[in-house]
Structure 1
Amino acid sequence: MNRLEGKVALVSGTARGQGRAAALRFASEGALVVGGDLLHEEAVQTQRLIAREGGTALTPGPLDVTDEESVRSWTEEAVDAFGGVDIVYANAGAVRFGAIDGRPYEDFGFTMRAELDSVRLTVRAAWPHLVASRGCVLTAGPTGTLTGLIPLTGQLAAQGAPYGIRAVCVGPGMNDTDGPRSDVAEGAVFLASDEAAYITGANLVVGGDWSAVLPGATT
């Protein structure tokens, strides 16, 4: 079942992990995937994996989601190649966590840029094309950054509503193995598809109920 047939999907962070899993899954559902990552060679390998499975993907030069020009160029190459943008999956990010007295302030700024500013820059670059396609924005981040990401996603949903643009947050839990990553990718496919046409401004936690487990507990 090709739930994303012909849709152009910008997916950041496709070099490995959740981003690679999403890119492969989107392509298997018929999407034209435009991937990107600072780890460019690994992102190109993801493109090769998609091609090997019969999908279509493009990986322009290295993508820095915290750099406005890099994101703008990435988006323009997607539009030049495929004519527009239907889906933005703002997956790329990085965090530096630690005790308040053990981490420099620069680490806080780094996390905000990588997890929140990256989403703003990506969506801003793609916004005119999302308006044209009545598209969809998916945001993603570790549970520690969701307190900032969920309100941002809600704001995007509110601003996008008059244009038919949906915005949904995918909150992955602990996903160091292929199984959970596949589950997150499945959730992203569903939210990007027409099956989720009435879902916007929401947060889908794909975490195996880890949010209900006390810190330090074992299962």
Structure 2
Amino acid sequence: MTDDEIDLRDYVAVCPVTEGQVRQIIGLADMSWDDPEATDAAMLSLGWSEPDDTVQLSEVQRVTDQGQFVFGEDGFFMPFAYFYTVGGEASPDDPFASFPGWSLRRDVARGDFEAVINNAVELFTASIGLPDHTVALRGSSSMTLGPITWRHAAWRRDKNVLIVGPKSDAMSYHQFEEGAVHIIPLAVDAPFPEGDELSRLLYNW
């Protein structure tokens, strides 16, 4: 097969946020994240397990009962959707095909990925009201031909901020995109971060 004949296909992998998880995550967002043992115990009490040998990602702290991976000790980062390409030498295999709880959609458009994120934002909005902040960040990935806009919904929760939105996927060296829920410690009287500062916080897990 020549370079012109390489079969590249766009995928969305989804392990959607559920209504029950929204309530659980809000509870975590209302905790202090100064004590990693306390927050880890809280996640364990939700039935979220330690990663087993099938999870080849050393940074994973917990696996939810739905199948999402949770990263971070002094903050919370849980991807629930990925937009990526399979095919060619760089990505010959689908990395999500064997993950329990994840479903795959092949030959999709970026709008399908955005719809999954929008649905998660709607679930949080139904539970805790409209976002306190809606932020647009410029982004890019190998999935797009040029710059794109990533929109994030954010809610202040005492000493934390809860954020839902897309960004580039660090595990793929920023080739692909992921939709995720973040809990980031932020002082009550601190201004909401914007631009480069917000981007830095979203990757600092």
Question: Structure 1-normalised TM-score?
Answer: 0.33
Higher share in strand = 2
